[in-house]
Amino acid sequence: MALARPMQNDALSILSQPGAPVAAQVAVAFAVLVTKWATRCRTRRALAQLEPWQLRDVGLTPEDAYGEAYRVFWRA
């Protein structure tokens, strides 16, 4: 049985190259955007759960953390 060879190039980098089909470029851009939004949502939810002493450890006030934690996910 032959072993599968690992891909030489990252699939996303191939799809996001200028010569790739437009639909592939749009799909990759959309996937990147949704992933970024999901990450923001998850990290802001985690920030909202931190205790005041943990916020002090990372240099945030509870007010700063609240402002960031409840910002909508599409805003950076």
pLDDT in tens, 17-53: 677 788 888 898 999 999 999 999 999 999 999 999 9
- Averaged confidence pLDDT in the chain: 85
- Domain membership of residue 46 (yes or no) is yes
- Domain membership of residue 34 (yes or no) is yes
pLDDT confidence band for 67 (50 / 70 / 90): very high
pLDDT for the residue 76: 86
How many structural domains compose the chain? 1
Looking at the whole model, is its pTM more than 0.85? no
- Domain membership of residue 35 (yes or no) is yes
- Domain membership of residue 36 (yes or no) is yes
- Domain membership of residue 59 (yes or no) is yes
Residue 61 is part of which domain span? 22-69
- Domain membership of residue 16 (yes or no) is no
pLDDT for the residue 18: 72
- Domain membership of residue 42 (yes or no) is yes
Dihedral of the CA atoms 17, 22, 27, 32 (nearest 10)?
40
**CA distances from residue 27 to 13, 21, 31, 65 in whole angstroms, order as listed:** 12, 10, 6, 33
pLDDT for the residue 1: 47
- Domain membership of residue 45 (yes or no) is yes
7 or 74, higher pLDDT: 74
